[in-house]
A and B are shown apart, each in its own frame.
Chain A
Amino acid sequence: KAGVTQTPRYLIKTRGQQVTLSCSPISGHRSVSWYQQTPGQGLQFLFEYFSETQRNKGNFPGRFSGRQFSNSRSEMNVSTLELGDSALYLCASSPGGSEKLFFGSGTQLSVL
């Protein structure tokens, strides 16, 4: 079974731009969660989608948004990028219940 795939692997943007990150979960998994990882704050929960609906949300500003498609693939969008948005963005999938998370390798975003 293929693992969780995140694209792109690396991204460099400038302040004020917007960015879209993509995540393809493991086949059959219906839940996709997004996390931001920084050296200072560690892993912080952004949101979770299940069957195209946002089921859980973290404490991030509205500039961070996401969606899930009918094939369970998910995208995350960050608008009006700030320097502090530089981070590793991790996507994790699970079958749908309260279970183990399978993480992708992440997208390293640098905002200049």
Chain B
Amino acid sequence: TQLLEQSPQFLSIQEGENLTVYCNSSSVFSSLQWYRQEPGEGPVLLVTVVTGGEVKKLKRLTFQFGDARKDSSLHITAAQPGDTGLYLCAGERNFNKFYFGSGTKLNVKP
């Protein structure tokens, strides 16, 4: 069983649409990170959120950490084909030990 559940598992949308990916758990995390992974490559860190309720923006991407530090969301505005990839959330419980969600595979069609 996964400590972190991501939804949806798959998402196929048209360029220009908005989308939200969710990362949920019943456990509390000291920090939560979001990564994007492209085929044949390792995950690349997008953002780290640490404080409950924290919101961080990275261009068209908005990340939010839940007040209780058990869940997070990633919102993409006006998605572009370059956003295509596997999005992974990862929660840290023990020092430098991260639990990854199963991922959301996003396909943005031109």
Closest CB in chain A relative to B10 CB, distance in Å:
12
Q: Mask for B61-88, Cβ within 8 A of A = 1, else 0?
A: 0000000000000000000000000001
Interface residues of A, dominant DSSP: strand
Residues of A near B48 (CB, < 8 A) are 100
Residues of the B chain whose Cβ atoms lie less than 8 Å from the Cβ of A35? 100
B33 close to A42 (CB less than 8 A): no
Select the stretch in A61-69, A70-78, A79-87, A89-97 that faces chain B: A89-97
A19: interface (CB < 8 Å): no
Contact A98/B100 with A104-B42, A105-B40, A105-B42 known, Cβ cut-off 8 Å: no
The main secondary structure of chain B at its interface with chain A is strand
Inside 8 A of A33's CB, which chain B residues have their CB?
96, 98
Contact for B42 among A31, A41, A92, A97, CB less than 8 A: A92
Q: Which residues of B contact A104 (CB under 8 A)?
A: 42
A101 and B103 contacting across the interface, CB-CB below 8 Å? no
Write out, one digit per residue, whether chain B residues 13-51 have a CB within 8 A of any chain A CB (1) or not (0).
Answer: 000000000000000001101010000111111001000
List the interface of chain A (C-beta within 8 A of B): 4, 31, 33, 35, 41-45, 48, 50, 55-56, 58, 90, 92, 94, 97-106
A selection of 6 A-B contacts at a CB cut-off of 8 Å is A43-B100, A45-B98, A48-B97, A98-B92, A103-B42, A105-B41
